[in-house]
Amino acid sequence: DAGVIQSPRHEVTEMGQEVTLRCKPISGHDYLFWYRQTMMRGLELLIYFNNNVPIDDSGMPEDRFSAKMPNASFSTLKIQPSEPRDSAVYFCASSWGADTQYFGPGTRLTVL
């Protein structure tokens, strides 16, 4: 049974470029979460969805960040334009009922 799938695993881009991170949650899960991990801030919750609807996006750092969940099996996190301080590992997680979350392998983003 596949876990949470994220793509790409690594992304290197230049400042000002648009970056799109993708996530496929575990089938049947009704919650999806986007996190960012940095040395300074640890694991930060950016946004989460319940049944494809955004519930809390208070962790999204700026308007440059946006997330969508067009259906139950796909979500994207977009950064436009990207900046060097956005460099981090971005995790997607999913759960049934907002309890135990299952994380994807993460996308390591480097913005030059």
Partner 1 sequence: DQQVKQNSPSLSVQEGRISILNCDYTNSMFDYFLWYKKYPAEGPTFLISISSIKDKNEDGRFTVFLNKSAKHLSLHIVPSQPGDSAVYFCAAREVGRALTFGSGTRLQVQP
Specify the residue, 9 or 85, whose C-beta has the smaller distance to partner 1: 9
Distance from C-alpha of 88 to C-alpha of 9, rounded to nearest angstrom: 12
Q: Which of 30, 64, 102, 110 binds partner 1 (CB under 8 A)?
A: 102
Q: Is 99 in the site for partner 1 (CB under 8 A)?
A: yes
Contact with partner 1 (CB under 8 A): which of 22, 45, 74, 78? 45
Nearer to partner 1, 57 or 81 (CB): 57
Q: Give, in order, the Cα–Cα distances in Å from 43 to each of 10, 26, 75, 89.
A: 18, 21, 19, 9
- Position among 22, 52, 66, 105 found at the interface with partner 1 (CB under 8 A): 105
Sequence-ordered list of residues with C-beta below 8 angstroms from that of 82, at least 6 positions apart, any chain: 13, 14, 15, 16, 17, 18, 19, 64, 109, 111
Both structure tokens of 36: 């960012």
57 is a contact residue toward partner 1 (CB under 8 A): no
Q: Is 1 in the site for partner 1 (CB under 8 A)?
A: no
For 70, the enclosing helix (H) or strand (E) is strand 65-71
Q: Which residues bind partner 1 (CB under 8 A)?
A: 4, 31, 33, 42-43, 45, 48, 55-56, 91, 93, 98-106
